[in-house]
A and B are shown apart, each in its own frame.
Chain A
Amino acid sequence: MTTCDVKFTGFGGPALDCHRDSGEVVGSHIAATAMRDPQAARIQLETMLAALGHPDNRREVARGLAQGMPLPALVQLAENKDGRAMLERALAELKGDLGDDDNKWAADQIGTALKTADLKHSDEFKKLDATSQQTILDRLGYPVPYAGAVDNLIALAKSPGFQAASPDTRKALLSALAEHPGDAIFGSGLQKLADDAAFKRLTPAQQAGAITAFKEAAAGQGYQGRSGSVFGIGATSPSDGDKRQVLDNARQVVTSVGFNDVGANSKRAIMEALNEHPNSAAFTGRLLKLINDPGFMALNDSSKEPKLLDAYSNDKDFAKGVDALLANGRYTALGGADRAKVLGDVIKLKGTDSYKDASAKQQQALVEIIGDISAQSAAHPANTTLRNTLDQVVDGKTKIGLYERDPLPGGFINYGYADAGVIYLNIEARSRASAVANNQFVDTLVHETNHKLNGGTTAGTADRFLDEYRAALVGTEAALNRSLTPAEQKAALDNLVDGTNPDYAHLANLYNHDAKFKAAVDGMYTALNGTTDAAGTVTTPPATVSPEDARQRLRAAGNDSDYLKKAGNLDNH
């Protein structure tokens, strides 16, 4: 201080002697004056700085000023015209060397004071409720604030979403920001969340939940990165772009109708699902489609919802199947409660050996096929056979296998078959397209399940005839969702015994060469055709012949076996 010879003894403050004291002491003395008389302090500061030739000396004084006043006092000073001018002058000096930590600290203190004073006098701040105002000022007054945190807080306080929020929501937003105080990306994300139209439509409680979930998304590895194992293997460091995407995805999810429709467990499961693919906009879009689906929202099951979400996020083949199901016309035609039944079925399906033993491609197809059949079942609750058949599958009692077999020469398509207790469905592309177009998977699944439940038979016997007649009727009725007419039953009977279907050449052979069998079948024909008299007048109208009726007719005509003695399973229970 050898170059300084300025002395102040007036203004009621401590005597200043820059030749005697260090710059910081001088600055603190000016601060003491400023708390009583800002105008005098301003004159002291400007005079002192003008007298100091070296910038470092001037910065010492400026530092002393910041060190000599607590932040609230600095703010108060910044609200005064002279006080503000001296703080701006001091700040300008400090900015000449922010590489010095002490200068930086002092500049932040003064900067915070100026910004806080600006905020307090802004229209945005004045419109806030008193509690929010106080909370903001308290947070701005924390010891050792730093510029990024202050800017973040002020930006949030002035943002349209924050302004529009309720006091409780403002409190939640401020708390969330306090966990990432200097993170500008998080701060910006929080502002977008508060200003999101969907967020604004939520109730205050839902908004609080959304903010909590949003904050937790920013605490996850997708946003924070991970350190990896020894030598940093597996470490990740998300780019700013990735971080913004993580928050954008989280914002869409936590403001969605579906997210806010479910309970805490399911909310957590949704966020865990998102956390598996945190920066994927595509996955987020698909997840939103799922959780906003009326079926998901109607599940109302704190066990099924997490299971579905866990499978959806961790099993991409299951997820692809569910995506296809959500777009399936039969599914989308259903209301929420019925869609929920379908989703319940595919959740159960995932736990079966049918699913576990399938290849990746087959797993997706299995979800699509069983989901489609389940949608049909939900649309036709009176179709007990179809429901029972589905239960057999999703409860794991009947195993489904999938295979691919090209259409045979002549275009013959094998839709499926049963072997060793397993029902196989053909998912070769052309065969599957035909099966879907003609609802053949329902027919095949019900038909083959009926065979399985009724036990094995031998080709070329009355047992096999009954087995085939019953399975044909049960399968076709399930696929058509109605009872068959006598004419349709006759077509089924023709198919078995008239000899024009090579698959049943053995039954046609039986019909043509076994008198007892022929008698029973001819009796069925008589019932199905009805009778007319010589004048062409109908004397007995056509009547249906149920499988049970067919069994009785076979026995009455003298056909007998242990198989024929048992009443059959007609609805796949």
Chain B
Amino acid sequence: MSLAPAATSAERRVIEHLESAFGVKADALQVVALTPRDLPAGAAEYYVEAKGSHGHDNYNVVVFGDKVYCSRVDGEFARALREQALLERKDLSAAQVMRLYSLFALPRQLKYIDANVLARNAQDYRAYPQVQAPALTQRPDGGVTLTFFATPVMSVEPAKWSVAISRSYEVVVSSEAVGKR
């Protein structure tokens, strides 16, 4: 591994994780530390891409302490929730669960619709009054259900998604198309 000396220990941990998980070379990667946005307290966020790939070969990485979670790995969303015991946190918000789901599980052809998007594109969604910002509801078993709407990147064709997370961190996902008013 030949990471720049200025790399932080967290960045080194990210690199080591990607080397281990994907067999990539450290000197082929560019790591960008981001200001965590809509992530649970204590999380650090990184964007990593293979140099020369113009961003197409990229990884979204969230670090909690010594634990590294990465996109492009099956089951990473549930692993992050479980290992960080996020259901135990009283301050866990819909925006935070939404962001984690987006980074680790939502198909990349889709974008979720948050309050900002709805505000900026009110005209686009006038025909879809049922479209709301992501919401989190408690389940009887102590788990939560994340409900949100997502649409293809370049068009307005919203679908409703439900991500049911049981108390034991089992995740069940369903989605259905939304009709116009």
Question: A-side interface residues toward B, CB under 8 Å?
Answer: 408-414, 416-420, 448, 451, 456-460, 464, 467-468, 471, 476, 487-488, 491-492, 494-495, 498-506, 508-509, 512-513, 525
Contact = CB atoms under 8 A, between A and B. Distances in A.
Contacts of A500: 102, 111-114, 117
Interface SS of B by simple majority: loop
Given A500-B112, A502-B60, A503-B58, 12 more contacts: A409-B72, A417-B53, A417-B56, A418-B52, A451-B54, A456-B52, A468-B55, A471-B54, A494-B111, A501-B111, A506-B34, A512-B35
A476 B55 contact: no
Interface string B27-58: 00010101101000000010101101111111
Contacts of A410: 105-108
A504 B55 CA distance: 8
B20 interface: no
Interface of B: 30, 32, 34-35, 37, 45, 47, 49-50, 52-58, 60, 71-76, 102-103, 105-109, 111-114, 116-117, 120-121, 124, 153-155
B32 A460 contact: yes
A460 B31 CA distance: 10
A409 B47 contact: no
Contact of B47 (A412, A418, A460): A460
A488 B152 CA distance: 12
B73 A409 contact: yes
Contacts of A512: 35, 37
B53 A412 contact: no
B58 to A, nearest CB: 6
A459 B106 CA distance: 22
Contact of B52 (A416, A420, A495, A498): A420
A451 B155 CA distance: 24
B153 A491 contact: yes
Nearest to A450: B54
A515 B72 CA distance: 32
Given A491-B154, A495-B153, A512-B37, A502 B49 contact: no
Contacts of A492: 154
A495 B111 CA distance: 8
Contacts of B60: 502, 505
Given A464-B55, A468-B55, A502-B60, A413 B109 contact: yes
A528 B145 CA distance: 36
Contacts of A464: 55
A509 B35 contact: yes
B71, B75, B102, B108: most-surrounded residue (chain A CB, <10 A):
B108
Instruction: Please list the 8 inter-chain residue pairs (A to B) with the smallest Cβ-Cβ separation, ordered nearest first.
Output: A417-B56, A409-B74, A412-B108, A411-B107, A500-B111, A509-B34, A451-B54, A506-B47
B54 A417 contact: yes
Contacts of B154: 476, 488, 491-492, 495
A502 B77 CA distance: 14
B7 to A, nearest CB: 15
29 contacts: A409-B74, A409-B105, A410-B105, A413-B108, A413-B109, A417-B56, A418-B54, A418-B56, A419-B50, A419-B52, A419-B57, A457-B54, A459-B47, A459-B49, A459-B58, A460-B34, A464-B55, A467-B54, A491-B153, A494-B120, A495-B153, A499-B37, A500-B111, A500-B112, A503-B58, A506-B34, A509-B32, A509-B34, A509-B37
A505 B47 contact: yes
Contacts of A411: 107, 109
Contacts of B106: 410
A457 B113 CA distance: 29
B55 A459 contact: yes
Contacts of A491: 153-155
A451 B57 CA distance: 14
A492 B153 CA distance: 8
B53, B55, B108 — which one has the most chain A CB atoms within 10 A of its CB? B55
Contacts of B34: 460, 505-506, 509
A498 B117 contact: yes
A416 B56 contact: yes
Contacts of A459: 30, 32, 47, 49, 55, 58
A391 to B, nearest CB: 21
Contacts of B108: 408, 410, 412-413, 501-503
A501 B153 contact: yes
Contacts of A409: 72-76, 105
Contacts of B109: 411-413
